[in-house]
Homo-oligomer: A and B are copies of this chain.
Amino acid sequence: MLYTFFNYKEVELFERKIDSEVPDVIKYFDISVVIDVLRATSTIITALSNGATCVIPVSDIAQALSLKYYNPGYLLGGERGGQKIEGFDLGNSPFEYDEKTVKEKTVILTTTNGTSSILSASRIAQKVLLASFLNLSSVVNMLSGYDAYTNIAIICAGNNGEASYEDIQVAGAIIFGIVRKRSHRLSDSSIIALKLWESLKRPDFSGEHAHRLRELGFEKDLEFCQMIDHFRLIAKFENGKIVKIG
């Protein structure tokens, strides 16, 4: 069955709920797929594609700085309010994670919503994948390999607890891809995401967060993050690190 969660706080609620009410068998999902298309997952996919060894997602700035302190060779990246954090090497724009900068480097990353969502996702599923428009077909192809009894949670990072219009589009595009190949039961949120994508058929970055990024001068990031299948890459989060599969 395919579940979709519109923001990561909902996942935490769900986690609490299933702790008490739902049998152990579905306490954890087989797979969770995290989406924060503007811009954390798009940036991470880009970094890995450009040769970064791994990306370490952390929730807060202090933790990121402490990790950098003990590992001065790591790159320190992240944003708050869309903007690069003071003293950090990099912000959260995919363009900063080019091959020259990230090749064979470990990146520490902390963002407002995305990195926390990845950590949340790992608490409800053993296998955690990252998705964006940039690697859409790779994710769809991998998920389509699982049978209809696999419980998949698609986690949309959202925007400070609010559903993000763009993230739901990526969720819908993934579901659209999967159900074309194999019938899966869909939760209500998954149906909503699917219907939304079927009506749009292409990325529509006109939500609040996209608006804010435009105001901050990140128009090029928006164009880039809309490029469906720009990369062929699967990224998984395992043992605290996000790495390329294969």
Contact = CB atoms under 8 A, between A and B. Distances in A.
A49 interface: no
Interface in A195-244: 195-196, 198-200, 206-209
Contact of A187 (B14, B191, B208): B208
Kindly report how many copies of this chain are found in the complex they form together.
2
B199 A195 contact: yes
Interface of A is mostly: helix
B162 A191 contact: no
A6 B198 contact: no
Interface of A: 6-7, 9-10, 13-14, 17, 159-165, 168, 187-189, 191-192, 195-196, 198-200, 206-209
Contacts of A14: 161
Contacts of A206: 191
8 smallest beta-carbon distances between A and B, as pairs:
A199-B199, A165-B188, A188-B207, A163-B189, A165-B191, A188-B208, A195-B196, A163-B188
Contact of A191 (B10, B159, B192, B207): B207
A199 to B, nearest CB: 3
B198 A161 contact: no
The residue among A162, A196, A209 with the most chain B CB atoms within 10 A of its own CB is A162
A196 B127 CA distance: 31
A159 B187 CA distance: 11
Contact of A192 (B165, B187, B198): B165
Nearest to A167: B188
Contacts of A199: 195-196, 198-199
Contact of A6 (B163, B208, B209): B163
Nearest to A163: B189
Contacts of A164: 188
Given A164-B188, A192-B192, 7 more contacts: A9-B10, A10-B161, A17-B161, A168-B192, A191-B206, A195-B196, A198-B199
